[in-house]
Amino acid sequence: MRGKKVLIVLLVLSVAMLGGVFFLKTQLDKRDAKEQTVVDGQGLPDGADGGEVSGDAKDGDGKDGSKDGTGEQADGQDGAEEVDPTYAITSFDPTHTKETKPSRMMEYTNIMVNGKVLSSAQKYKAKERIEFETGDKYTQMEGVLTFRGNNFRDMPAYGKAKMKKYKMKKLWTVGTRSVTIAGQYWSGNGWTGQPLLIHWPRETKKHMNMEEWAKEDDDLVEAIHASLDGYIYFTDIYSGKATRPAMNTGFVFKGAGALDPRGYPILYVGSGYNSSAGTSRAFIIDLIHCKVMYEYGCQDPFSLRGNLSFFDSSSLVDAETDTLIQPGENGILYLMKLNTKYDEKKGKVSVKPKHIVKWRYKGKRNGSGSYWYGMEDSAAIYKGYLYIADNGGHLMCLNLNKLKLKWVQDILDDSNSTPVLSVEDGKLYLYISTSFHKGWRSSSSADIPIWKIDAENGEIIWKTSYNCQSVEGNSGGVQSTIAVGHYSLDDYIYVTVSKCDGLHRGRMVALKKKNGKKAWEQKGAYTWSSPVCVYNSKEGGKDVVIYAKSDSHLMMLDGITGETLYDYSMGSGNVEASPAVYNNILVIGTRGCRIFGFKLK
């Protein structure tokens, strides 16, 4: 009898175990069914020499939880997976239409590999194929690691704010500096000036030149601000305390820079103007010791724009191939095999770029005395295809693995607006606008289109235009980057248009993605600062749009209705820089020599 009972018990346990296995397999199958598969159609790369990838790609080991500015424990960190808009692309095969055929606008392009210019008979193919997935997969680190967050340039806010009152509470301010170079005055943070926000793992911080309290604080999120005054500032986003001494480079920084998406302690940043420290150039900085490891781009003889060496664009890094991708205002796109080595336990990081590829172009109206070469905006990338606008009115789609233009669209004017990629009904589109450079098309006013463009072939889906004015050195039009809405704001894009109601006035406009029609707009002081969509929580509440104006007001608007929810005056000083958000903390710099930290309540 006892034997039968034992047998029955064993049978019951076996059935339970089999049921558990079946349940686990079912859950895994469901997860696998949700994963996206995108076929590119390009062949495997070969051709130009390149080094092997060095260093182990390390994912960030993020921690849950964060602090607010009063020392209280804030709501738990939602994690990167929760900031996951719909990115399901069903087809993608870039080509061109008759209107966007590159030869209509381009005279020629050139490629240089390790100092040697390829002849027209030589075809370039990357040895290691560059493949970027959708923007949500750019990094597993917690934070905003490049301008507008990722390779789609669509997420300058990380996590969820979980607001209830829809107010902004100033937590802290940090003073910055100013500098005058050859009669040119630079102060605080200007265009684009976005901070980089990162939650470093404890093991990474261990060897950094950080304050001891910062190393010990597992909830620490560091804001890194490359500023016009030549300093790079490091700040705790919750308290405003300096996490380490500011790094004085002596070079003017206009762009946001970028952090390594693998979590390596590396900063990539370019100077935007010549200075007393020398001619402008781009830098790769070791963030363990805050020292320059490598610099490039200074008076590059491959440039068709002479000795100009400015780098406002925020770079991207392809983690799989260890490749830095950096556009320059000198008209050169740099692809650089970094040969990165990072030993986290010893606290050592190094790069040794050896395989350096440069691509340049000559448009049919470039160099004509008005339309310039050069790229000041930041590139968006998907599946080895790079999208970028230039100073000569070209919007380009470039195959990075062959360095061939797939299509070129005429966008009329000098553009500082970074293209933003958006997935809608399984197709990939981009949104972009342009500046009004006085004297090129007009000396009085000009129409500034906001475009929706098919990312596969460059075809214009729709455009909505605003008539703008301009002045030398302070252009009108759209100097900002468009914010593409997700979640409850998924039907809209948000764009700031400057000098469209007079030289000191502008508009914040919400347009419908479907047809470009105006949903709402708000008039006021103009802005070059890019708007940010801040998402509240899955439990409900308003998703909002936050932007800053030239009169120093920071605005929080209902993203659907345009209603002003909160208006905060930051005092004096123009605001050109774009904000970044981590959960419910917003950080922004001003030309008034102050960096602000706000809690969104």
207: Cα within 13 Å, side-chain hemisphere: 16
- 370 pLDDT above the threshold of 80: no
Contact 526, 498 (CB under 8 A): yes
**In one letter, which amino acid is 143?**
G
| pLDDT for position 538 | 65
- 331 pLDDT above the threshold of 90: yes
pLDDT greater at residue 369 or residue 328: 328
| pLDDT for position 100 | 97
Tokens of 234: 């490091």
- DSSP string covering 265-307, please? SEEEEE--B-BTTBS--EEEEETTTTEEEEEE-TT-TT-SSTT
Q: What is the distance of C-alpha 246 from the center of its chain?
A: 23
Q: What is the C-alpha to C-alpha distance for residues 37 and 408, in angstroms, rounded to an integer?
A: 27
SS3 366: coil
- 30 pLDDT above the threshold of 70: no
**Burial label, 178 (beta-carbon count in 10 A; 0-12, 13-18, 19+):** middle
**Burial label, 350 (beta-carbon count in 10 A; 0-12, 13-18, 19+):** middle
Instruction: Of 200-214, 369-383, 485-499, 577-591, give the lowest mean pLDDT range.
Output: 369-383
SS3 205: helix
| pLDDT for position 246 | 98
Contact 387, 378 (CB under 8 A): no
Q: What is the mean pLDDT of residues 112-118?
A: 97
Give every strand in the sheet of 594-600, ordered side by side. 157-158, 580-582, 585-589, 594-600, 168-175
Tokens of 521: 């707009």
**pLDDT tens digits for 49-61?**
333 222 333 333 3
Torsion region of 398: left, alpha or beta (phi above 0 gives left; psi -120 to 50 gives alpha): beta
Percentage of residues in the chain with pLDDT exceeding 90? Answer: 76
Has this prediction a pTM greater than 0.75? yes
Q: Which has the closest alpha carbon to 483: 157, 195, 138, 256?
A: 157
Q: What is the C-alpha to C-alpha distance for residues 351 and 48, in angstroms, rounded to an integer?
A: 20
Mean residue pLDDT across the chain = 87
- 6 pLDDT above the threshold of 70: no
- 131 pLDDT above the threshold of 50: yes
**Burial label, 12 (beta-carbon count in 10 A; 0-12, 13-18, 19+):** exposed
DSSP β-bridge partners for residue 555: 547, 567
Residues 6 or more apart whose CB falls under 8 angstroms from that of 229 comprise: 176, 177, 178, 179, 186, 187, 188, 252, 593
Q: What is the mean pLDDT of residues 495-511?
A: 95
Residue 331, number of CB atoms within 10 A of its CB: 27
Stated as kind and residue range, the H or E segment containing 432 is: strand 427-433
- 573 pLDDT above the threshold of 80: yes
Contact 304, 363 (CB under 8 A): no
First to last CA, the chain: 68
Give every strand in the sheet of 532-534, ordered side by side. 532-534, 544-548, 553-558, 564-569
Q: What is the mean pLDDT of residues 157-175?
A: 97
pLDDT greater at residue 222 or residue 21: 222
SS3 498: strand
**pLDDT tens digits for 240-293?**
999 999 999 999 999 999 999 999 999 999 999 999 899 999 999 999 999 999
Q: What is the C-alpha to C-alpha distance for residues 164 and 536, in angstroms, rounded to an integer?
A: 9
| pLDDT for position 91 | 85
Tell me if the bond preceding 192 is cis, omega within 30° of 0: yes
SS3 424: strand
Tokens of 405: 């233009």
Q: What is the C-alpha to C-alpha distance for residues 384 and 404, in angstroms, rounded to an integer?
A: 11
| pLDDT for position 140 | 96
| pLDDT for position 38 | 29
410: Cα within 13 Å, side-chain hemisphere: 14
Q: Between the CA atoms of 25, 28, 32 and 33, what dihedral angle is there, to the nearest 10 degrees?
A: 70
**pLDDT tens digits for 417-476?**
999 999 999 999 999 999 887 777 877 888 999 999 999 999 999 999 999 988 887 888
402-441 burial, b at 16+ Cβ within 10 Å, e below that, comes to bbebbbbbbbbbbbbbbbbbbbbeeebbbbbbbbbbbebe
Residues 6 or more apart whose CB falls under 8 angstroms from that of 430 comprise: 380, 387, 419, 420, 421, 422, 452, 453, 455
Contact 547, 122 (CB under 8 A): no
pLDDT greater at residue 182 or residue 68: 182
